[in-house]
């Protein structure tokens, strides 16, 4: 019998770390160890259950220490999306339980929030349960802090501003926003320490890149996610500051301080804690390395854009970021007259993996609300996001840039030939 030679696999060039990261080797080793031995329900009274509970508590303590919170302020969830929904809807549900409410609760969310916040807020508004105001951003995605005073009012119960946007990587000045919210609390309620509005931030893209100490940030609620920091998928957390008014969004809520039901996935949580430790340990060094990667990528992109082969095809592109207010591992580009999906598919055919938008909204044909908020009102610009990670090096970038050049020449030539 003839057996053909095994086809040699081509190297894959992964540039989608903002969507998901591979599991760190240390984390994977720990995860397998716990999956094999610590499978008991941490709520059980027997010895195996007690051991699982011990690991759960140790992991909670590790994570709380890394964000400067108390251990009982960490609520484990299935990921960043659930944490966001629990934060927003949990606060709203708590308010709606108040039968003496004089008017609908009012929410303020930034124009570039993660869809878990943005879509949930819109759904609650459409259902007639809340009033909603959108905090606008400039063309780089930065919120106008001064505009808060025009939006906040006595009935405002919840404000959400994403620390780092997952599509364009813009960084918001969370401490300054928090300071302004406290000032407005005093003006409206006569007390900076008034309960409302509760301030939430999604820090899923910030952990491992930026400071995430909750005391210095000045927030009440913070979402973050294991799958973005080389930890296991399917687990995340919500920081809930003590005395923050929030209720469970489930009818059964025995675990996680009454906010989330179900047996805690001990192995995943232990892996999450380990991933947090590793990410924080290498944060500063990795941040500088990604700055170099970003600088090199953009320089090489500029070089190919000036080559005659592309110049003659009227290449026009934008970098949807401002250097001073962007995490270095995310580069977001828009190309005039091209389609996002075309760019992604053509790059994929060359074993280069990028995203057109947030993975949570891949099947939505509309221009993302994030891009609309920074000035893209239609689909005349095709956008792609390259996001770097621990394994990204200059050789990878060289290959990606060369492939991107091929793709742009092909698509622009087709567009010109058929007058599209």
Catalytic residues: 360
Map residue 17 onto helix, strand or coil.
coil
CA distance 21 to 144: 32
Query: Whose CA is closest to 340, among 401, 382, 390, 391?
Result: 382
Query: Are 411 and 344 a contacting pair, CB within 8 Å?
Result: no
Query: Whose CA is closest to 369, among 165, 88, 79?
Result: 165
| Residue 353 in tokens | 């993996």
Which strand (E) or helix (H) includes residue 382? strand 381-387
CA distance 133 to 147: 11
Query: Are 167 and 332 a contacting pair, CB within 8 Å?
Result: yes
| Residue 35 in tokens | 């999956």
Query: Are 241 and 74 a contacting pair, CB within 8 Å?
Result: no
Indicate the pairing of strand 198-202 with strand 156-160: parallel
CA distance 359 to 62: 29
Query: Are 135 and 151 a contacting pair, CB within 8 Å?
Result: yes
Neighbours of 219 (CB within 10 A): 26
Query: Are 164 and 209 a contacting pair, CB within 8 Å?
Result: yes
- Residues constituting the chain: 420
DSSP state letter for 226: G
Angle at 139 between CA 131 and CA 342, to 5 degrees: 100
CA distance 383 to 376: 10
């Amino acid at each position: 019998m003839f057996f053909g030679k095994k086809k040699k696999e081509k190297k894959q060039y992964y540039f989608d770390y903002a969507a998901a990261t591979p599991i760190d080797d240390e984390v994977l080793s720990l995860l397998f160890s716990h999956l094999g031995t610590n499978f008991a329900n941490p709520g059980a009274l027997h010895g195996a259950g007690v051991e699982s509970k011990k690991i759960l508590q140790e992991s909670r303590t590790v994570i709380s220490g890394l964000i400067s919170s108390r251990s009982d302020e960490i609520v484990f969830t299935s990921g960043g999306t659930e944490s966001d929904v629990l934060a927003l809807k949990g606060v709203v549900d708590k308010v709606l339980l108040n039968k003496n409410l004089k008017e609908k609760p009012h929410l303020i969310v930034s124009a570039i929030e993660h869809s878990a916040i943005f879509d949930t807020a819109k759904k609650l508004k459409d259902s007639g349960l809340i009033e909603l105001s959108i905090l606008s951003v400039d063309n780089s995605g930065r919120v106008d802090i001064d505009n808060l005073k025009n939006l906040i009012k006595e009935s405002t119960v919840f404000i959400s501003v994403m620390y780092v946007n997952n599509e364009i990587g813009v960084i918001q000045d969370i401490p300054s926003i928090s300071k302004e919210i406290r000032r407005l609390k005093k003006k409206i309620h006569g007390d900076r320490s008034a309960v409302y509005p509760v301030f939430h931030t999604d820090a899923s893209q910030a952990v491992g890149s930026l400071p995430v100490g909750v005391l210095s940030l000045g927030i009440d609620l913070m979402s973050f996610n294991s799958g973005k920091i080389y930890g296991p998928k399917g687990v995340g957390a919500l920081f809930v500051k003590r005395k923050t008014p929030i209720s469970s969004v489930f009818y059964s809520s025995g675990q996680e301080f009454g906010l989330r039901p179900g047996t805690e996935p001990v192995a995943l949580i232990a892996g999450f804690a380990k991933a947090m430790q590793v990410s924080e340990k290498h944060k500063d060094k990795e941040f500088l390395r990604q700055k170099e990667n970003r600088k090199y990528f953009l320089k090489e992109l500029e070089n190919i854009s000036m080559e005659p082969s592309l110049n003659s095809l009227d290449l026009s592109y934008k970098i949807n970021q401002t250097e001073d207010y962007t995490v270095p591992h995310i580069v977001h580009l828009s190309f005039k007259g091209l389609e996002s999906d075309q760019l992604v598919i053509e790059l994929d055919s060359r074993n280069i993996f990028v995203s057109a938008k947030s993975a949570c909204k891949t099947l939505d044909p509309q221009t993302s609300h994030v891009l609309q908020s920074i000035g893209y009102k239609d689909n005349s610009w095709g956008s792609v996001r390259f996001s770097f990670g621990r394994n990204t090096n200059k050789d990878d970038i060289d290959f990606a840039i060369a492939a991107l050049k091929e793709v742009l020449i092909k698509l622009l030539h087709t567009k010109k030939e058929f007058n599209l």
